[in-house]
Structure formats: structure tokens, C-alpha cells
Structure 1
């Protein structure tokens, strides 16, 4: 848990005087409100909170949260977040990015902030399109996506942000979507994880990729295609009439019917957030035959990057005198006196 003294705030304390400027109907509005509503429940302090973003629609976020904020450069938000956390490890750092910003030009930086395990919350808004630059296909766009850069349809295989994060060594992986009532609970879980917490948030782009997630994220009527995971609870969906079981022959997951609520007889798996192998399977489940896995997929903390750096600094400084003048004079130095040679 973050080592920041909880304080009492309200949603209004986290709203700025800036006009919120996204396209009418954009899913970013719902995500912003979810974050602003969640922060008071966490006891977060605006004076100790920093939002860092790169470039893209999602990256306007720091303007709209009454805290410290850095709107940085394309794909490089993780580098700035790392510097901020190392300069002051007590700060509560949130990193906001998108599928283009974080998975394309910033993919390398995203990988390293995850493998290093910097203590921060990483919110990746995934609308499967480049919105700010007018609708080009992105690394997460589905095959067949038509756009200004793929007028005949994209032939690329889309990247999976959660699979990428797991492959990079992330110790916390979660999913949600913009208008979900469960999103605040996902954000809370990410906040309480000590280390890099990666949250993929499916976000509707009303202009360039409208309703692409409606099969599982429509405001009404898609509940049966959502698998909301809870640690220690069976993986049930469709009002408990179906569940996820392990095919022991193929070592893959499968959908099973649950008769009369007897999920144990059906072989439904109980979710264990520390099971990395099952997390990989959940991330890779093809939507259609399977529901969309949402909530906390994986949560298994390990020591953080900044804690290791701080310990190394303390060890290096132990027993040494902090004397800058002495340090500068050490080695090949000389003094020029009056009457000496011209330089």
C-alpha cells in the first residue's frame, strides 16, 4: 500500500477549472469521472499525486485532475514517471497513455517501466485507433479495420496490451471498460498494488471507431459476455449459468455449462490472482467463443525499482562525507595563481 497519509477529499477537490475537451460522447469522460470519484475513496492527497501522460486524446488527462501533472512527449511518459518517482518515492504516480502512445512509439518505454516494476498506476486507454491524429489504425486495431492509412482494411495482427505487459514481466494486470460500474474497483486494486500496476481500459472512440466494443461493453445487454474476475471466486458468467474450466488434455481453457448452480461439478476454476499461467490463458482467450476477461487478472507483487535504487544509494553513501568541494578537487586538478601562465 502506498506510504502516503490518507486525507479526506471530495470529487470536487479533484476537478480543475479547465474545460474538459474531448469529442461529445467520448469514453474518456467516463474514465475521468471514475478516476476522480475513486481518488477520494483511496484517501489520496492532491499535493502528493502526479499524473503523467504522453501524446494522444487520453494524454489530456493531467489538465483535468487537480493535482500535479506532466503532459510530456509521445510515448515517453514512463521515462518521466521514472524520474519523478526516483526524485521523490513518496509521490503517488499515475501514468495515463493510449494504445498508440503506449504500444507503438512508446512500446519500448512501456516494456521497461513494467520490467523494472516502478511503483505507479499505468492506465492504458485502448480504443483500437489513433483518435487525436484523425483515425489511423493503431497497434491494437483488428484485422480488417478500415482507416485513412488502411483504406482496404488492416492486414496486421493486433497487439494485446495485457499479453504484452505479462511478457514484459508486469506483476499486476487488470482490465476494465469506460462506462463500467466496476472500473473504480479495478482502479482501487491497482492503487493498492505495490509496484507497476497495468490497467487496460477499453474506451469507445465515438468518431473513428464507434461501438467497436459493444459485444461485451455496451452499457446494457452485454453483461452475459463479461467475465468479471474476483480472487478466490469461481470464474462464472452469464448469470452463473456458464463458467471457465481447464481442459486438462489440451492444457487450455474451455467454457462449460453450470447446472443448478453446481459450478464445482462443472469443473469451474476458482480465480487465483497469483497464478501467472492462468493469467496468460485469460488474456489470450478469444472473444466470441469465450467471454471477455475483466477485473484483476494477475496480482503478485515483488520489490519495486525505486526501493532497490534507494537501497543502492544508501549503501554507496554509507560512511562517506557529503563534501562537493572535496569531490571536485579530487584527481587531476590544479590551481592557477596570480602571475602564472596565461590560459
Structure 2
């Protein structure tokens, strides 16, 4: 099996995102992830396929040296579903934005998650419509002033992780565009997951929504305002690694290790495989500055997949069917002899 390098997955097309756009870093993360995925899963280059809808993120198939399909607005999940069901051996990656996936494509998105189709969905979340020049999106914060909300939005925003878990999602991870290594690791974990995997990437739009996540992702506060979760490890964070999460009644609470009798043994240990989504839901809902924003793989549980079920159902029907060819089909049911 050939060992691939990132450049094997980069096309020769000129990348036409704005200078400073977070999409550049995400592209680098994907290029780094795919060789690792190919080696881990013994996949050849020809098995990778990228599908997109409309938006800045959706230019992705042009920049990948893989099979690709640039679809229409909001329909990437439907197209990706068809690709996967038609050819289950492919590693199908859907690239979408918060507008493409959660507004016009919202219905397709939740049903792809609900069906647990073996897709890898990369959801770029910049909380704005960038390609169409700055309208508010389904994830824009309440009250934000944009070109379509000059007096501030009056709509409550979606939280992608909450939607995924609410749709009975089996895999959800969150990363940030500038952390290429963490994003790469989330993508590799997504590829290894059998079922719908959603990786939300908090991505900065330098033109229309610059520094929207700065209040918790700025380098000066990031260590105190985010927590990178790892399976089997205590949920600790902070510049001095002295803060942690504990269960407090029906919610989570931040505590300081060493104060008020709190020890490392009191800190909650992350379990991505926990079937009950309760703690996972609490993690995806944490918001700065009161709580750290959760990054990394948050949920990864096993369940049967739609594409496997379709395959098994067709095999079973073929075995049981008394009809094995066209002649058998034409002679089946009620027939008449015309003289």
C-alpha cells in the first residue's frame, strides 16, 4: 500500500479564499489528515470523495485531488447520501458552512445525522454568510448587527452540537481553524467512526465577521476559556492546568484543584463512548465566559448505519426473491395469453 503525503491530496487549482481566512488552515488540516486516514484504514487514494453545497467552504472539492461533486445550496447531505449508498466503499466527506448546512440544508442535515449514514461532515462555522457578503446565519449570536439585521438579530441561534445530539447523532467533535493538529485529529477520529460524524470547526471570517470568537479564542484567554477533551482523561484546563469540571446537581461546575478539598480524583473523566448523551449535551452547551468551550471529540458511540442496513436488506431480498431475471419478472403475478 502506498504511503501518501499531504500534497497527494492537494489539487493544482489556485486557492481563492480571502487572505487570512480560516479556510486555509482547515484545508491544511484535511491534507494532513487524509494520509493518516489512508494508512489507518488501508484506503487507496481513489476511495476519497468530497461533496459540497454552496458557500466559501463549498469551494473545497476544487482544492482537493480527489473525486468531488460541487452541488447546489443546502443539498450536499442529500448528494453525499446518494454517493455513499450507491458506492459504500467510498470515504465520503461533506464540506459545508453554517448557512449551507443549517438554513436551507437544515432538513437534509438532521436526517443524515438521524439515519447515521457513514459520512464525514465538516461544518465550518463562522456565524455569518461570507460568500454572499455578510448576512446573519442560523448560528449568528442574538443581537448581532449585519447587513440583513441592521438593528440586531432577534433570532435565537442554533448550536450545531446540540442539533447533532438532538438528532441522535453518534459522533460530534469541535475544533478551531488555527489549531491544525487538533482539527486533523478530530478528522481522523471522524473517519474511523462508522456512522455520521460531524466535526464543527469554529472558523474566522476576516472580512464580514472578524474575531467573532475572539472573546474565548484569543491567545491571551484561550487556555482559560476552552477545554480540550480527550477520552479517558480528566476534564482539566487552565493556563496552570489547575481547573476542572465536576458534576454539580444536574449540571457541570468549574472547580479549582487544591481548593475546598478538591482533588484530581473529583474531576470528571471524559467518556466519548457513553451511550446516554446527557453529559455530552452539557459539554456542547458550555459557553464562555462562565464555562470553558469544549473542544475535541465529545461523542463517539456505535450504532447500525443506514448504508449497511440498505446493503443487508438488498442482500436479504435477493436471496428470498423468486424472481432472478427479467423473464421471471415478466412472467410473475397475473398474466394473460392474448390470441
What's the TM-score once normalised by structure 2's chain length? 0.92
Q: Distance in 2 between matches of 1:279 and 1:313?
A: 35
**Distance verdict in 2 for CA 1:24–1:334, change over 3 Å:** farther
Residues 59-138 of structure 1 correspond to what in structure 2 (within 5 A)?
59-138=58-137
The question of whether the paired residues in 2 share the 8 Å contact of 1:53 and 1:96 is answered with yes
Q: CA deviation at 1:196?
A: 0.5
Q: Distance in 2 between matches of 1:59 and 1:82?
A: 17
The CA deviation string for residues 23-59 of structure 1, in whole angstroms up to 9 with x for no partner, is 1111000001100011111224321111011111111
Q: CA deviation at 1:107?
A: 0.6
Report the equivalent of 2:37.
Answer: 42
Report the equivalent of 1:13.
Answer: 8
Report the equivalent of 1:259.
Answer: 258
Residues 261-300 of structure 1 correspond to what in structure 2 (within 5 A)?
264=263, 267-275=266-274, 276-300=277-301
Report the equivalent of 1:243.
Answer: 244
Q: CA deviation at 1:336?
A: 9.0
The CA deviation string for residues 1-36 of structure 1, in whole angstroms up to 9 with x for no partner, is xxxxx6411111111111111111110000011000
The question of whether the paired residues in 2 share the 8 Å contact of 1:129 and 1:136 is answered with yes
Residues 180-191 of structure 1 correspond to what in structure 2 (within 5 A)?
180=179, 181-191=181-191
Give the number of aligned pairs: 329
What's the TM-score once normalised by structure 1's chain length? 0.91
Q: Distance in 2 between matches of 1:328 and 1:211?
A: 65
Q: Secondary structure at the match of 1:111?
A: helix
Any stretches of 5+ residues in structure 1 without a counterpart? 1-5, 338-343
The CA deviation string for residues 205-242 of structure 1, in whole angstroms up to 9 with x for no partner, is 01000011122333565222210001111110103111
Query: Over aligned residues, Cα RMSD in angstroms?
Result: 2.0
The question of whether the paired residues in 1 share the 8 Å contact of 2:216 and 2:289 is answered with no
Q: Distance in 2 between matches of 1:314 and 1:71?
A: 32
Q: Distance in 1 between matches of 2:196 and 2:217?
A: 26
**Distance verdict in 2 for CA 1:147–1:328, change over 3 Å:** farther
Report which of the two structures shows the higher radius of gyration computed on alpha carbons: 1
The CA deviation string for residues 50-70 of structure 1, in whole angstroms up to 9 with x for no partner, is 101111111111111110001
Deviating beyond 4 angstroms after TM superposition, the runs of 4 or more aligned structure 1 residues are 328-337
Q: Bigger shift: 89-98 or 314-323?
A: 314-323
Any stretches of 5+ residues in structure 2 without a counterpart? none
